[in-house]
Amino acid sequence: MDNKSDVNKLILNFIGKFLEGDGKIFSIVFFVIVLLIIIGIIAENKVNDVKKNWEIYITNELNDIQNTVTREFKIKEDYLIKNLNKLNFSLLRELSKSRETYKAFIKEINKKDYDDFSIEIYAPNGKLIGWNKSSQAFHNELFPLASLVGETFFLEKDLVYCFSIIDTFHFQSDEFYIFLSLLIEKKYKLHNKFYEEISIINYISNKIQTETIVDFNPFTLPSSDGRKYSFEITNNKNKKIGLVTIDKPTIKNRINEIKNFSSSIQSLIVLFGLIIIGFGLRKDYKNLKSYYAKFLFLLFYLLLFRVLLFFFSIPSKFLNSAITDPANFSSAFSFGLVKSPLEFLITNIFVTISALQFFRYSLKFFSKEKGFNSKFISYFFAIIILILFPLILRAFAASMQSVVFDSKLRYFKDFEILPDFTVLTMHVNILLLGTSFLFILISLSLLLKKLCLDRDDHFVLRDFIVVSLLLSFSSLSLYYISKNPLYNIVNLLVLLITILWIFYLISKQQKVHTKYYLIILIFASLNSVILLNYFDALREKESIKNIAFEINRFNNPLITFYLNENINQIISDQSERNILLRKDINFNSLAFIYWSKSNLHQEELNSFITIYDRNGKVLGGFKVGFDFRENIKQLLSKFNDVVLIDASNQDSLIKKISTYSKYVEQGATQLVVSSGINFQVAELGGLRFPEFLKSELNIINQYIKIEKIKIFQFRERELVQYYGDVYPNREQIKHLFELKLDSVFNDGWTTLEFGDEYYAAYVIKTSDNNSEITNVVTIAGNKFSWSLFNFFKVFIIHSIFIFIILLFISLSRIKKFSMSFKSKLLLLFLVISILPTTFLGLYNRKVLDERAAINITNDLKQKASLVENNIYSSMNKNIDIDESAKKVHKSLNIFFNLYESSDLVFSSDQQYYDTGLLNEKLNSLVYYAINYDKFREYHTIEKIESYPFYSYYKVINLNGKQYILNVNQAFNKSYNVMSSSEFDIVLFGVYSLTIVIIIFSSTLLANQISSPIQRLTKATEAIGKGDLNVKIEHNEKGELKELLDGFNKMTDELKKNQIELAEYERESAWKAMAKQVAHEIKNPLTPLKLTIQQLIVTFKERREDYDKFFEKVSSTLLNQIDDLNQIASEFSRFAKMPSLKMEMFDLIKLLNELSAIYLNEKIKIVINSDNDEYLIENDKSQLSRIFINLIRNSIQAEASSITISIIKTDHNLEIYIEDNGKGINQEYQDKIFSENFSTKKQGMGLGLKIAKKFLTVINGDIVLVKSSTEGTTFKIILPYVKV
């Protein structure tokens, strides 16, 4: 990791150095401009080239398209043949082991490997003997063969097209047939999550970016239209099996494509250039001293970058999905910069970076800069902040409101725990939005304090209270005077408390630890989620307005338009007309295809589409909730082209309208196409639609769970229709009609009570045929489990996102991964508590699922028994099976199917089998279980598209014949106490809360356990650095008490021993030295004595050479005295300070290391510096001792905070060590640097003396700046030369 980061650093430095200097940046800008011009010229040349050589170009282009399309079909064909061979091989292997051939066939083809294929096995005589669970293309008879054996072909079925192959399989002299089909195209389309779109045509169209038509028919002729190009699809035997027709590329389109492509490249180059310029200016940006200039520069750069991204539509241009859809979010804010979830995310990232920088610079201004000299200006700006603060609070709420109201996404409507990508993007947006606002609001609080109460970095609780009161007052004032305050008082208070608490933490510390960023992120998430929940509840309430609009929207003109449009689309299209005239077509399937693609399905309308022959006899149709006429012979003579039949009931407001349109060719009616809509409030929201046919485009279900609402429709004050299981009593109706409505919109809100629940009710009045219509839509509030679920659903996603951010930051900062004792402890707690909790949750979920499955199966069993008994009773009355089944279905209202052997003989909802949506053949697994495993009953989960449902099969005997009765959940609502989604909601909510509590308590516990160990570690570290005054104060009990007391005792002993040792050493040294000195002094003393004695004798004897002798003796004496002086000097040198160990180190790093020693002491150490580092050459250990000594003195003077400020002067560094301790008495202040002076009981009085002595040696100094009862300030001067 080290190597990697070093390489990165090297590369960055290289790029940085390369880009240094204005000249190079200018060169890059010039290069970018040249590149843009060159691309423009290339594009123009390319356009001219295309114009000039269009014929050659189009030929190549069409060849490419043909090759691409052919390749796609070839891939499908290869897949088909490969699996056929695989199946052949495995069948041969399995059949040779088995005694029962047919049984082995079914078992093998139902293996998971073949789920993509529809497989049928035919006996040598062409009879169907086996099919798999995905089978949908079979006939009971194989002959005549649909194609030659071994050749691939397109197989058209009622609702789908398949790529198929028939092959033979030889086993024990018998020749079986295998019919293998791969679904490639669905003719119908459903608008719900269960629909599995399979369309090779769409796939190819998207791939070649051209409208494509595929005729899965070998006999279709190429298009004669010169604007189109057709080519054949051939099979594995090189025979034509289909025809592809595409629109030929036009020169205009091609030129547009070239221009778009070149402009995309140019825009990317401009952005790249901007990035490079930004990179080049990185150093200049760092060198800027003014925060103000830095912030402006950054803001300008980010704004320019964002606007360019938007202008060039990057990255939206390259993506076409839900995250670029304005329906999912688009706000009027900033001219479209937030017009989709993706644009919102990009803007949010830029805003968050700006807000973060604003916060950082505000903090620096708060802690270091001097405020205004003029009080007037300070107060003026303080007032502006006081006005801005509540406005920005409101802006936060407005943004969150926009996130909910300007989006069709319903964040909490669905049960899904894991959201889709668009919702996930919006969740991240919400977090970023909250973080940005929190940064700005906290910054404003800091600025306000600085402006009003500039206290030279001292935290005073009174100041904090004053600022908090001012901010609260301004916020609450705006809340109470505002007509529409957006948030409620609880939201506002939560937000205010959050901001003020973080403001308190930061202003107390005077700086921001990384953990505060984490706190800001978490609280940004909490507040965003709270507001999101709040606005979502409001949105849900507002949504019921849309339901009221929906009821009013369906008037006669709209219904007529829908019906006519549907019929016109069928009859006016030549290709559809050709299909209608085909003899082999299944008209039920055709009607279903038309219905599925129409607004009848999209808007979940009770409706039908029917096709009649020229005599008015029904050929086929599809209906949901509205029956069509079986015969319209009488009606035919009454109209020429189109007739509209309105069977609506004006009194009950039920609308039943149908239209009939004749398709006339060569003067004769060929067919009649009919469509009808039955609209009534009581059946809103697709009540009559089976789950697999529901539409997500239905407005009512888009906004709200229909089960949560109740609707009442009044005509002239009389209740004519209602939706839901209750209706209002007289008093409530009276209340509804006495409600004062809005004069413009004629609507209003009120509350109704049903049972124990209160419902918000929206009332709107309209008129229809001169009658007053009143629609009342009501909704119940959310349950607690929902609120808990909603909250954690978003909060957990935010937490994961925050975790990822922190992980990235940590990984980029930490060079070597190591875990502290506390982290290990916390991790252990979390693992041993969360893992079992999670397993318990999963187990509970599994148990509940199993119980739910049992309940549903029991319910289906009961229904099956009821049906069986009733059919049995009916058949005893000599009614045939079909009639009996119909009668039983009608009387019991239970949907069921009856099979004889493997074929369907009766279904309560026959039309789904008639259309081909469901198979008339018995589920092959059920067939296997009943026929070969001799089961009498069988339950399984089946699927329609991807909609899963429980299905129960039972073998019954009726009049001596064996039938298989099937009752399933797809057509029979089988209610459980709670749905699996509701289980998820409760479990997720409860377990999320449990896990949060576990994390919280584990952190507390880990803190509690590790705290003494951490303090012990720090204290040991302090001792290691020479501070023996350290003492751990604690309230621990038990072993920890013994350990900490033992440590303190050990430190005391150590200190005592050190003092004794020092004294002993000093004494010994003095003794040795005295001995040595005495010895050294004695040496010159003897000659001195002798010389003087000799001089005296000479003087007494008055010798002639006295003068000469005197001169000699004097010289000797002086030499001896010099020797003595030298001895004295050497002695003095010996007593001097130890030699200096000079080294290069970062002073700030050293101070940080030293302050870390005192983390567990009741002292806060703040280091202020203009620079991030100060490299000095000095004796590190001596300096450490001085700082430790000063800090320890402050602690002993009962200081709670120490501020160390480093100021650089011309040649020195001035370090101010300022504490808020009880200070030094005035009388002692002059003596503190004297030797042996100490006010402490155990002090030697050497600390400050040594410090002074050391600093004097290195040409520095230490002085007492001030000392009073409010605190003491020392100044240390260190010589500094910038390295």
Partner 1 sequence: MIKICTFISLLLIYSYVIFAQNEKLIQNFKPGIKSDSNHIVMSEIEESIKNSDVIKLTKFINSKTYFSLMGNISGYYTTNQAFYLLEDFFKIYKVQSFKFSQVNSFEDNPYATGTLYYENRGRRNKAQVYISLKRVGENWIISQMSIN
Q: Which of residues 716-745 bind partner 1 (CB under 8 A)?
A: 743-745
User: Judged by CB under 8 A, does residue 385 bind partner 1?
Assistant: yes
User: Judged by CB under 8 A, does residue 3 bind partner 1?
Assistant: no
User: Judged by CB under 8 A, does residue 226 bind partner 1?
Assistant: no
Residue placing its CB nearer to partner 1 in the complex, 153 or 195? 195
Min. distance of Cβ 579 from partner 1 in angstroms? 20
- What separation in angstroms does the CA of 840 have from each of 844, 983, 1070? 6, 14, 76
Q: How far apart, in whole angstroms, are the C-alpha atoms of residue 605 and residue 689? A: 9
* Among positions 330, 475, 674, 1205, the unique one binding partner 1 when judged by CB under 8 A: 330
User: Judged by CB under 8 A, does residue 398 bind partner 1?
Assistant: yes
DSSP code string of 920-970? SBPPHHHHHHHHTS--SEEEEEEEETTEEEEEEEEEEEETTEEEEEEEETT
User: Judged by CB under 8 A, does residue 550 bind partner 1?
Assistant: yes
Strand partners for 659: 644, 675
Min. distance of Cβ 423 from partner 1 in angstroms? 16
User: Judged by CB under 8 A, does residue 358 bind partner 1?
Assistant: yes
* Among positions 1, 37, 296, 800, the unique one binding partner 1 when judged by CB under 8 A: 296
Min. distance of Cβ 944 from partner 1 in angstroms? 22
Min. distance of Cβ 781 from partner 1 in angstroms? 22
Greatest alpha-carbon span in the chain: 178
Footprint of partner 1 on 1159-1178 (CB under 8 A): none
Min. distance of Cβ 68 from partner 1 in angstroms? 17
Binding range to partner 1, per CB under 8 A, among 112-120, 390-398, 782-790, 1267-1275 = 390-398
Residue placing its CB nearer to partner 1 in the complex, 701 or 884? 701
User: Judged by CB under 8 A, does residue 290 bind partner 1?
Assistant: yes
Binding range to partner 1, per CB under 8 A, among 116-124, 361-369, 458-466, 583-591 = 361-369
With a CB cutoff of 8 Å and minimum separation 6, the contacts of 1192 are 1027, 1029
What secondary structure letter does DSSP report for 114?
A: G
Binding range to partner 1, per CB under 8 A, among 245-253, 424-432, 865-873, 897-905 = 245-253
Residue placing its CB nearer to partner 1 in the complex, 550 or 1219? 550
Footprint of partner 1 on 1081-1110 (CB under 8 A): none
Residue placing its CB nearer to partner 1 in the complex, 83 or 695? 695
* Among positions 191, 511, 705, 1275, the unique one binding partner 1 when judged by CB under 8 A: 191
Residue placing its CB nearer to partner 1 in the complex, 209 or 901? 209
Count, residues in the chain: 1283
Q: How far apart, in whole angstroms, are the C-alpha atoms of residue 1154 and residue 1152? A: 5
Min. distance of Cβ 557 from partner 1 in angstroms? 5
Footprint of partner 1 on 595-654 (CB under 8 A): 599, 602-603
Binding range to partner 1, per CB under 8 A, among 244-252, 820-828, 1024-1032, 1225-1233 = 244-252
Min. distance of Cβ 573 from partner 1 in angstroms? 11
Residue placing its CB nearer to partner 1 in the complex, 217 or 746? 746
Binding range to partner 1, per CB under 8 A, among 364-372, 500-508, 633-641, 861-869 = 364-372
Task: State the Cα torsion 622-628-634-638 to the nearest 10°.
Answer: -90
Alpha helices in 619-710 (DSSP H): 633-636, 699-703
Residue placing its CB nearer to partner 1 in the complex, 194 or 279? 194
Task: State the Cα torsion 517-518-523-528 to the nearest 10°.
Answer: 90
* CB of 244 closer than 8 Å to CB of 212: yes
Footprint of partner 1 on 760-779 (CB under 8 A): 767-768
* CB of 443 closer than 8 Å to CB of 363: yes
Footprint of partner 1 on 678-697 (CB under 8 A): 697
> Taking CB under 8 A as the rule, which mask of x and - marks residues 197-216 in contact with partner 1?
------------xxx-----
Residue placing its CB nearer to partner 1 in the complex, 98 or 568? 568
* CB of 157 closer than 8 Å to CB of 163: no
Q: How far apart, in whole angstroms, are the C-alpha atoms of residue 658 and residue 58? A: 49
3-class secondary-structure state, position 679: strand
Min. distance of Cβ 292 from partner 1 in angstroms? 4
* CB of 881 closer than 8 Å to CB of 875: yes
Q: 421-452 vs 461-481: helix axis angle to the nearest 10?
A: 120
* CB of 84 closer than 8 Å to CB of 167: yes
User: Judged by CB under 8 A, does residue 126 bind partner 1?
Assistant: no
* CB of 395 closer than 8 Å to CB of 441: no
Q: How far apart, in whole angstroms, are the C-alpha atoms of residue 1234 and residue 507? A: 39
With a CB cutoff of 8 Å and minimum separation 6, the contacts of 10 are none
Footprint of partner 1 on 946-975 (CB under 8 A): none
> Taking CB under 8 A as the rule, which mask of x and - marks residues 451-470 in contact with partner 1?
x-------------------
User: Judged by CB under 8 A, does residue 375 bind partner 1?
Assistant: no
Min. distance of Cβ 605 from partner 1 in angstroms? 13
Q: Which residue has the tokens 């404003």?
A: 444
Min. distance of Cβ 64 from partner 1 in angstroms? 17
Q: How many helices and strands, by DSSP H and E, does the chain display?
A: 32, 30
User: Judged by CB under 8 A, does residue 391 bind partner 1?
Assistant: yes
Residue placing its CB nearer to partner 1 in the complex, 331 or 525? 331
Binding range to partner 1, per CB under 8 A, among 4-12, 120-128, 555-563, 902-910 = 555-563
* Among positions 69, 106, 447, 875, the unique one binding partner 1 when judged by CB under 8 A: 447
User: Judged by CB under 8 A, does residue 658 bind partner 1?
Assistant: no
The residue count for binding partner 1 (CB under 8 A) is 73
Residue placing its CB nearer to partner 1 in the complex, 207 or 239? 207
User: Judged by CB under 8 A, does residue 1183 bind partner 1?
Assistant: no
User: Judged by CB under 8 A, does residue 518 bind partner 1?
Assistant: no
Q: How far apart, in whole angstroms, are the C-alpha atoms of residue 415 and residue 1035? A: 50
* Among positions 43, 444, 506, 888, the unique one binding partner 1 when judged by CB under 8 A: 444
- Identity of residue 147: S
Residue placing its CB nearer to partner 1 in the complex, 391 or 842? 391
1176 membership: H or E segment, kind and range: strand 1175-1179
* Edge-to-edge strand list for the sheet holding 1164-1169: 1164-1169, 1201-1208, 1212-1219, 1271-1279, 1261-1268
CA atoms within a 13 Å half-sphere pointing along the CA-CB vector of 1153 = 15
User: Judged by CB under 8 A, does residue 331 bind partner 1?
Assistant: yes
Q: What share of the chain is helix, strand, coil (3-state, %, to 5)?
A: 55, 20, 25
* Among positions 339, 662, 889, 1164, the unique one binding partner 1 when judged by CB under 8 A: 339
Rounded to 5 degrees, φ, ψ at 1176 are: -130, 160
3-class secondary-structure state, position 1238: coil
Footprint of partner 1 on 18-37 (CB under 8 A): none
* CB of 923 closer than 8 Å to CB of 904: no
Footprint of partner 1 on 1043-1062 (CB under 8 A): none
* CB of 644 closer than 8 Å to CB of 674: no
User: Judged by CB under 8 A, does residue 841 bind partner 1?
Assistant: no
* Among positions 299, 493, 682, 706, the unique one binding partner 1 when judged by CB under 8 A: 299
User: Judged by CB under 8 A, does residue 384 bind partner 1?
Assistant: yes
Q: How far apart, in whole angstroms, are the C-alpha atoms of residue 997 and residue 1007? A: 15
User: Judged by CB under 8 A, does residue 247 bind partner 1?
Assistant: yes
